Structure 1
Amino acid sequence: MEEAIIAFCSKNGINFHKPTFYHLPSHNLLSPTRRRRLKTHFRNLSSNTSSISVPASPHFSKPSKIPKLLQSSSIISPHPHSQNEFGEKMLYLESIGIDFFSLIDDYPSVISTSSLEDIKSTFHYMRSLGFSSFDFRRICGMCPEILTYRISDISPVFTFLLREANVKGSDLRKVVNRRPRLLACSVGERLRPTLYFLQSLGITEVQKYTSLLSCSVEDKFIPRIDYMEKTMGFSYRDVVSMVRRFPQLFCYSIKHNFEPKFNYFVMEMGRDLKELKEFPHYFSFSLEKRIKPRHLSCVSKGVYLPLPVMLKTHETMFRHRLEVCFSSSPPLTTSPLWWSTSAHNYLCKEI
């Protein structure tokens, strides 16, 4: 691998200092496969690069051809120390299984805004809390900013989750894996205000909905409350009741979820808003795969089923209830059991 990198740098006029740039401790974890991949990657870079102009410096004798990951001035530096640390970061991240080249393409500031010691400290800190190497790689993949943080930046988040959000220690790993973005949030500016807002709505068991804590009250929660009031026609009290029953409502898109499903509920299904108030989980079901097919099945049979019965039940149970309602006979109008024109629908509700 060293020969490939040296040849590439020499060809493009980049003066890297081999003795310190490539030195790693004896416990380096790079597997032979990862070493071969790095070697192949640098060979490809040396033969497939685009021409760009580079400012004159002691390390560039002419405009060079350099890859995307080396085009940043924060990476190619006149200071040997910066060049050395770049290489050490690259090899260390590869040694713990993080794809360096994908990372640097998507989030190049990792190189300029983090030190190798901070990255190592963060990795070992996460391991001490019970996170596996796989967990850390996954978290970095979903929230690469973690690699630019120090322990002092993320430890307050864990303290907040345990002490204020009442997350159990045994659930901490699951909570962060489900929503890595939590670690990139400020406790004072985002997590704590969101917690207080959810609690003000009467959502007391916030530890069950920790993914909401990373959301902005102003940008995400308030617009959904306004839409449910002004467009759907619910009172504020009704909206609060609905989000208490189903806090995940705050996660759904207004344009791609609320609008099409509400329009179908009103225009095609012709149902009362009271049903949505009692069963806000309606918005969690697929419009095309669950809501429409089952509604049309009910219409074809001339049967009315409550929303929970129509949507929550397994397909086999749904078909069974549909057939029972369809094959049963409504009471005669002269019967004491007949009390309204919807008696048959009432019977179906009770099944």
Structure 2
Amino acid sequence: MEEVFPFCSYRGLRQVPQIPTTLLSRNAPVRPRLALLSSPRAARLSLHTPIPLPEKPPKLSPTLPLVPPDSAPSSSSSFRDKLLFLDALGVDLFAAAAAHPALAAAPLADLRAAVDFLRSLGLAAPEIRRACGMCPEILTAAPADLTAAVAFLLHETGVQGRDLRRVIGRRPRLLVSDVARRLRPTLYFLQMLGVAPIPRHASLLSCSVEEKLLPRLDFLEEVGFSYRDARAMAMRFPQLFCYSIEENLRPKAKFFLSDMRRELRELRDFPQYFSFSLANRIRPRHQSCKEKGASFPLPALLRPSNEQFNAQLEVRISSSSPLRRSPLWLASSNTDL
């Protein structure tokens, strides 16, 4: 009697076929003797029809490495070390790398060298965190470039050593600005305008003359100022170079001319007008004066606090305006100048 052994179990078969052992030595494909489907509607399988077995994904060997042994572990370890190092400083590596993609591939040693350099300048941990967050390029800058920028600030712009920490904390991008192509040309341009003292406005040195400084002078001329007046305004109030043309200068100039209907000479003498909020200070105070029939010079209109302005407004509307030839009119016009 021939020996049989179980072939396999297959879903849908009522009877598991048995294969004689004498057939194992033959080269012909093994076929079941009987295969009946469990569903009465299913067709019966022919004796000459092989049963397809379900394909299963190959199992990975537990010893098969999932990553190249030479590169991936060290790369993963390096990234983890950088993540921990920056996290200890309070710097988000992912946010910094999004702003400066080269940071993701920078060696940890470069990051340590940059942070040590900032510490040597006297920056505390919160200042380092702020500087790296504002300008992540510092973390990948070469030490020689950082040293060159500091030397320029100290020896050419006149920044005092005790003020270096404040200057860099206010504008960290100074450290990664090229001395020959950015810092020195901007210094010469500011000196030509007569901006002084330069150390007080050192944050402007990282700005491009062609892309930022000149376009703002051109805008002032577009508004109606002469070439000379535009440069005088920038010399008197260099922060003008920091404001966006479309989001700050243009809407405020339009409101000054069309709604306030004031003369350009007032804006020429008080360019600090552009530093005040249009929505929170300029428009509300102008509207209050308009409703109560009062008028103030620009400095008196914008500089005082809300309490001081309201008090001045009450005094102004409760008393008659002095004559132009009266000393009181001059004193009123020069309030807070």
Normalized against structure 1, the TM-score is what? 0.71
The partner residue of 2:206 within 214, 230, 237 is 214
Residue equivalent to 1:147: 139
Aligned equivalents of 1:104, 1:97: Cα separation in 2: 14
Residue equivalent to 2:298: 307
Deviation of 1:141 (Å): 1.2
Q: Per-residue displacement from partner, 1:66-113 (whole Å, max 9, x unpaired)?
A: xxxxxxxxxxxx48765554444344334444333443444332132x
Matched, 1:110 2:103: yes
Aligned equivalents of 2:226, 2:289: Cα separation in 1: 30
The one-letter amino acid paired with 2:148 is P
Aligned equivalents of 1:289, 1:131: Cα separation in 2: 35
Residue equivalent to 1:92: 85
Q: How does 1:163-312 map to 2 (within 5 A)?
A: 163-229=155-221, 231-312=222-303
Aligned equivalents of 1:164, 1:84: Cα separation in 2: 43
The one-letter amino acid paired with 2:67 is I
- CA pair 184-326 structure 1, distance change in 2 beyond 3 A: same
- CA pair 330-85 structure 1, distance change in 2 beyond 3 A: closer
Where 2:66 maps in the other structure, the secondary structure is coil
Q: Per-residue displacement from partner, 1:262-301 (whole Å, max 9, x unpaired)?
A: 1111111111111001000001111111111111111112
- CA pair 350-183 structure 1, distance change in 2 beyond 3 A: closer
Deviation of 1:350 (Å): 5.6
Percent of aligned positions that are identical = 47
Structure 2 unaligned spans of 5+: 1-62
- CA pair 268-96 structure 1, distance change in 2 beyond 3 A: closer
The one-letter amino acid paired with 1:349 is S
The one-letter amino acid paired with 1:161 is L
Residue equivalent to 2:8: none
Contact 2:174–2:203 under 8 Å retained in 1: yes
Contact 2:153–2:159 under 8 Å retained in 1: yes
Aligned equivalents of 2:285, 2:324: Cα separation in 1: 28
Deviation of 1:312 (Å): 0.4
Aligned equivalents of 2:316, 2:279: Cα separation in 1: 24
Aligned equivalents of 2:179, 2:143: Cα separation in 1: 14
Matched, 1:349 2:333: yes
Deviation of 1:13 (Å): 2.1
Which of 1 and 2 has greater Rg? 2
Contact 1:140–1:146 under 8 Å retained in 2: yes
Aligned equivalents of 1:234, 1:107: Cα separation in 2: 40
- CA pair 138-294 structure 1, distance change in 2 beyond 3 A: same
Residue equivalent to 1:30: none
- CA pair 12-241 structure 1, distance change in 2 beyond 3 A: farther
Aligned equivalents of 2:113, 2:153: Cα separation in 1: 21
The partner residue of 1:119 within 111, 116, 119 is 111
Q: Per-residue displacement from partner, 1:154-208 (whole Å, max 9, x unpaired)?
A: 1111111111111121111111111111112101110111011000000121111
Deviation of 1:247 (Å): 0.3
- CA pair 105-330 structure 1, distance change in 2 beyond 3 A: closer
- CA pair 338-141 structure 1, distance change in 2 beyond 3 A: closer
Question: What's the Cα RMSD here?
Answer: 2.7
Residue equivalent to 2:67: 14
- CA pair 218-101 structure 1, distance change in 2 beyond 3 A: closer
Aligned equivalents of 1:81, 1:262: Cα separation in 2: 58
- CA pair 11-146 structure 1, distance change in 2 beyond 3 A: farther
Structure 1 unaligned spans of 5+: 1-9, 18-77, 332-336
The partner residue of 1:156 within 138, 148, 171 is 148
Count of aligned pairs between the two proteins: 273
- CA pair 200-321 structure 1, distance change in 2 beyond 3 A: same
Normalized against structure 2, the TM-score is what? 0.73
Deviation of 1:15 (Å): 3.6
Deviation of 1:142 (Å): 1.2
Q: Per-residue displacement from partner, 1:245-268 (whole Å, max 9, x unpaired)?
A: 100001111111111111111111
Contact 2:103–2:139 under 8 Å retained in 1: yes
Aligned equivalents of 2:112, 2:324: Cα separation in 1: 75
Structure with larger RCO (C-alpha < 8 A, sep 6+):
1
Where 2:223 maps in the other structure, the secondary structure is coil
- CA pair 269-96 structure 1, distance change in 2 beyond 3 A: closer
The one-letter amino acid paired with 1:205 is P
